[in-house]
Chain A
Amino acid sequence: MLDTSKIKLDFPILSRQMNGKGLVYLDNSATSQKPQTVITAITEYYMNHVANVHRGVHTLSDESTHLFENGKTKIAHFFGAKKQELIFVRNTTEAINGVAYGWGEHNLVAGDVILVTVMDHHSNIVVWQELAKRKSAQLIFVGVTDSGTLDLIDLEKKLEQFGEKVKLVALPHVSNALGTVVPVTKVVELVKRANSQTRILVDGAQSAPHIPITFTKIGIDFLAFSGHKMLGPMGIGGLLVREELLKTNEMQPWFFGGGMIAEVHESHTVFHDDINERFVAGTPDVASVVGLAAACEYLENLGMQAVLEHDISLVNYAVQELAKIENVILVGPNFESNSLLNSDIKNPERVGSVSFLYKGVHAHDVAQVLDSQGIAVRSGHHCTMPLHTSQHWIATTRASFQVYNSKEDVDALVLALKKVREVLL
């Protein structure tokens, strides 16, 4: 486990009192807190280095450009991607929209199929519903097994059934509602075996904070992530696009304007000949890039392998302790057996969060009572309404983890959950 007593000190907000108790922040899947190094990097940029990038000759602009470019290099490196494969966006949602507008609009025709999963976040569903409408394409859902994992047999069946019509498979790396880890390598193998031309988009919103990723090695085409869930600032995220798709123009800019151009004439425009600069329309959010780079550095200093191991121990401990509470019904991988999870670090089954139902009590009421004990969790359907509907859950309560969480935080959760009974039942 990581030394959380030390790590907690790096996050100023964690010293706050909440309703008379020390804050126990377990809503990290929604957004994570930010370490002082990230906050300082942003303030320092605004205090000393502000200038617009790329276009200025003066020293300050040069400094700003360096900070921006170095930040970009660091972030791309964190994801094991080439720098030119990284396009900055505001968040995962915008990244997925970017694929719809920059790729889907140019590569889909009527009758084509987009495969998503029942456990996808609304961001990875609604975007494709809308694209399917515009293109008269079909949006098909791959199911989830009774034990909360991706139904690979259903995936295979649908790949076979729709054959070459399947142009895109879009799926989460980690489910934000179940914590389920999707075996991406296996999925890539199945998809590419069915049709090597099918593109794969991985929604990395919930994996980027916990799992080491080497984009160039996993064989996917797009990866979307949000900086704010991985200790970085809100308002910055990334879309990684496999270089080949940029070189062949299969993926095209979807925002237009200054910065991304080479020549502008009254009759037409020639876009920037750099395959990445073409995607930078307008002034970028330099401070947030600098902040996200600091977040990547923070995680790298801890070591992503150690971060993952820490997370798996917390998830396992939470599963074990929550299963003991009367009235608590865990959902997600292995929830029937409530047995200890496979803690194989190479193939974790569950990462980031533990969700549960509380017999006889609505999730919002559970969360409200926990809040009165200083514990922040999320309740509702976590933007996964199709999943909740398919499982007939009205709403679930979710505790989700970050590097600063400890087993004591899980103990506090367990203690407070016992209080729910006292207060409400």
Chain B
Amino acid sequence: MYDMYHEDLLDEAKNPNNYGDLVGADVTTTQFNASCGDVITVAIKLSADKTKIEEVKWKGHGCIISQAAMSVLSEKIKGYDTSKLQELTKEQILEELGLPQISMGRVKCLLLGLSAVKKIL
């Protein structure tokens, strides 16, 4: 058993990046985790030609994994081409979080934010 809850991960969840409201968002999406009631809402501002993500803010509640994952994801997708969002993978988020793996039961937690983000497409 690796030490899953390492310091950086806990910190990421406790002090998440880009948490809050976004005034003048172009798109807002929400994703629920039906098995535990966790929820994440993502608000995004796009470039004038709608091809790039300019601003990201998010809100929600959930476990450490879902919150930390959304935090790193929100950093990663700033300035991102919307056309490339589809290519974001579970492995990339795990890497960002410094986790070598995750159990089947937690995959939904890990991907809650990503599912919300992909909904803007």
Q: Which A residues have a C-beta under 8 Å from some C-beta of B?
A: 19-20, 362-365, 368-369, 372, 379-381, 385, 388-389, 394-395, 423-424
Measured in the bound complex, the distance between the Cα atoms of B62 and A273 in whole Å is 56
**Docked-complex contact B65 and A364, CB < 8 angstroms:** yes
**Docked-complex contact A394 and B61, CB < 8 angstroms:** yes
Q: Chain B residues with Cβ under 8 A from A388's Cβ?
A: 37
**Docked-complex contact A365 and B36, CB < 8 angstroms:** no
**Docked-complex contact A385 and B37, CB < 8 angstroms:** yes
B35 at the interface (CB under 8 A from A): yes
**Docked-complex contact B35 and A381, CB < 8 angstroms:** yes
Closest to B39 in A: A394
B1 at the interface (CB under 8 A from A): yes
Q: Chain B residues with Cβ under 8 A from A379's Cβ?
A: 36
**Docked-complex contact B106 and A364, CB < 8 angstroms:** yes
Nearest 9 CB-CB pairings of A with B:
A362-B63, A364-B63, A380-B36, A395-B36, A19-B1, A365-B64, A365-B63, A372-B1, A380-B35
* B67 CB to nearest chain A CB (Å): 8
Measured in the bound complex, the distance between the Cα atoms of B2 and A20 in whole Å is 12
B54 at the interface (CB under 8 A from A): no
- Report 15 cross-chain contacts, Cβ distance below 8 Å, ordered by A residue: A363-B36, A364-B105, A364-B106, A372-B1, A372-B4, A381-B37, A385-B37, A388-B37, A394-B36, A394-B37, A394-B38, A394-B62, A395-B36, A395-B37, A395-B38
**Docked-complex contact A20 and B35, CB < 8 angstroms:** no
Closest to A388 in B: B37
Q: Which B residues have a C-beta under 8 Å from some C-beta of A?
A: 1, 4-5, 10, 34-38, 61-65, 105-106, 109
* B16 CB to nearest chain A CB (Å): 14
18 extra A-B contacts, CB within 8 A, seeds A19-B1, A368-B106, A385-B37: A20-B1, A362-B36, A362-B38, A364-B36, A364-B105, A364-B106, A365-B5, A365-B63, A372-B4, A380-B36, A380-B37, A385-B34, A388-B37, A389-B37, A394-B36, A394-B38, A395-B36, A423-B5
Closest to B4 in A: A368
Measured in the bound complex, the distance between the Cα atoms of B34 and A424 in whole Å is 24
User: Provided the pairs A364-B36, A364-B106, A381-B36 are in contact, do residues A424 and B64 lie with their beta carbons within 8 angstroms?
Assistant: yes
**Docked-complex contact A369 and B37, CB < 8 angstroms:** no
Q: Chain A residues with Cβ under 8 A from B106's Cβ?
A: 364, 368
Q: Chain A residues with Cβ under 8 A from B35's Cβ?
A: 380-381
Q: Chain A residues with Cβ under 8 A from B62's Cβ?
A: 362, 394
Measured in the bound complex, the distance between the Cα atoms of B62 and A388 in whole Å is 14
Q: Which of A20, A365, A389 has the most CB atoms of chain B within a 10 A radius of its CB? A: A365
Q: Chain B residues with Cβ under 8 A from A365's Cβ?
A: 5, 63-65
Measured in the bound complex, the distance between the Cα atoms of B35 and A155 in whole Å is 28
Measured in the bound complex, the distance between the Cα atoms of B23 and A54 in whole Å is 71
**Docked-complex contact A424 and B37, CB < 8 angstroms:** no
* A129 CB to nearest chain B CB (Å): 15
Q: Chain A residues with Cβ under 8 A from B10's Cβ?
A: 424
Closest to A378 in B: B105
* A356 CB to nearest chain B CB (Å): 15
Measured in the bound complex, the distance between the Cα atoms of B72 and A224 in whole Å is 46
Closest to A374 in B: B1
Measured in the bound complex, the distance between the Cα atoms of B33 and A380 in whole Å is 10
Q: Chain A residues with Cβ under 8 A from B36's Cβ?
A: 362-364, 379-381, 394-395
Measured in the bound complex, the distance between the Cα atoms of B32 and A394 in whole Å is 12
Closest to A423 in B: B5
Measured in the bound complex, the distance between the Cα atoms of B109 and A120 in whole Å is 25
* A184 CB to nearest chain B CB (Å): 29
Measured in the bound complex, the distance between the Cα atoms of B3 and A19 in whole Å is 12
User: Provided the pairs A363-B36, A394-B37, A395-B36 are in contact, do residues A369 and B64 lie with their beta carbons within 8 angstroms?
Assistant: no
**Docked-complex contact A362 and B37, CB < 8 angstroms:** no
**Docked-complex contact A424 and B109, CB < 8 angstroms:** no
Measured in the bound complex, the distance between the Cα atoms of B36 and A313 in whole Å is 29
Q: Chain A residues with Cβ under 8 A from B1's Cβ?
A: 19-20, 372
Q: Chain B residues with Cβ under 8 A from A19's Cβ?
A: 1
